[in-house]
Amino acid sequence: MRVLITGGAGFIGSHIAQHFQGKAEVVVLDNFRSGHRRNLDGLKVDLIEGSILDRAALDRAMRGVDLVFHLAAMISVPESMLKPRECVEINATGTLHVLEAAADAKARKVVLASSAAIYGDNPTVPKVETMAPEPKSPYAVTKLDGEYYLEMFRRERGLGTASLRFFNVFGPRQDPKSPYAAAVPIFIEKALRGDPIAIFGDGGATRDFIYVKDIVGALVYAATTESVHGTHNVGYGRKMTVLELAREILRLTGSSSAIEHKPERLGDVRHSMASSDKLQAAGWKPAHSVAEGLEATVGYFKGLK
């Protein structure tokens, strides 16, 4: 079997590459917009440096491929607000390129990394796939576009497709240095340095944090299970407050960093939690937990020091 991972030099993509070591030939197409070559250190992959917007590079990457994991994207909501046209180009047009190339190369299935951002700031939890999408950013709009394009290619071109809406993914190799970094790697890095951890608001906002290994499990399940198509949420269906997260990280790192409260950020959603019942009913089960994932992630960042 041969698999292509667009955005494979990124945080989640590199874990997919790791999963397939010894199980399949792995091709990675990445232009290092936000990913890093070092994420693939020690992994056997056919690395093609290029963009999903370059059809020639995409065709080369797609040769002989059975499964496509499409993760290449502008990944940040705030960045998409600042650069909406670039976001549309990479996330919507880029996804169309990937689908055309996959259909032309007769790939079996394309799985898209979609996002819980599609639910916008609708306060209802848990989020279920039947809720009306309320995308509030170019990032969310383009992820939703992608889902529709995947479904269109399934109907019109007979290409297998499925979209997974990830909730808050964390794990080793998530980049704490990017200007749009997520809470888990930032908190761990601050805790290990003894620097104060900043929380926006009272820390009572909740998120459905999910360990990257379970996201990989869900992606692989969706890619290899013919009956899975359309859109599915992926989260643990559990909520953790940001304050609980910070305290757990302080405990795991043995850090005495202070927790500082900063003014709430405009546009932050108060509560976000998935119902993954649809994917679970289709046969997927998470194999890990937040506690296990946080321990592994802290261990990884300690090892970098």
Ligand X SMILES: NC(=O)c1ccc[n+]([C@@H]2O[C@H](COP(=O)([O-])OP(=O)(O)OC[C@H]3O[C@@H](n4cnc5c(N)ncnc54)[C@H](O)[C@@H]3O)[C@@H](O)[C@H]2O)c1
| Residue ranges binding ligand X (CB under 6 A) | 6-7, 9-13, 29-35, 51-53, 71-73, 75, 90, 94, 113, 115, 166, 168-169
Q: Cis omega before residue 196 (within 30°)?
A: no
Are 206 and 239 within 8 A, CB to CB?
Answer: yes
Q: Is 144 exposed, middle or buried (0-12, 13-18, 19+ CB in 10 A)?
A: buried
Helix (H, G, I), strand (E, B) or coil at 195: coil
Least Å distance, CB 103 to ligand X, is: 19
HSE-up of residue 86 (Cα within 13 Å, Cβ side): 12
CB-based contact 41:172 (threshold 8 Å): no
Task: Output the smallest distance, CB 258 to ligand X, in A.
Answer: 26
Nearer to ligand X, 114 or 257 (CB): 114
Measured from the CB atom, the residue of 232 and 255 that comes closer to ligand X is 232
Least Å distance between CB 234 and ligand X? 9
Closer Cβ to ligand X, 215 or 243, answer by number: 215
Q: Please say which residue, 168 or 297, places its beta carbon nearer to ligand X.
A: 168
**Helix runs in the chain, H state only:** 11-19, 55-62, 77-82, 84-87, 94-104, 138-157, 183-193, 212-224, 242-253, 277-281, 290-304
* Shortest separation between residue 42's beta carbon and ligand X, angstroms: 17
In total, the chain counts a number of residues equal to 305
Kindly state the smallest distance separating residue 204's Cβ from ligand X, in Å.
21
Q: How far is the CB of 236 from ligand X (least distance, A)?
A: 13
Nearer to ligand X, 53 or 259 (CB): 53
Nearer to ligand X, 172 or 257 (CB): 172
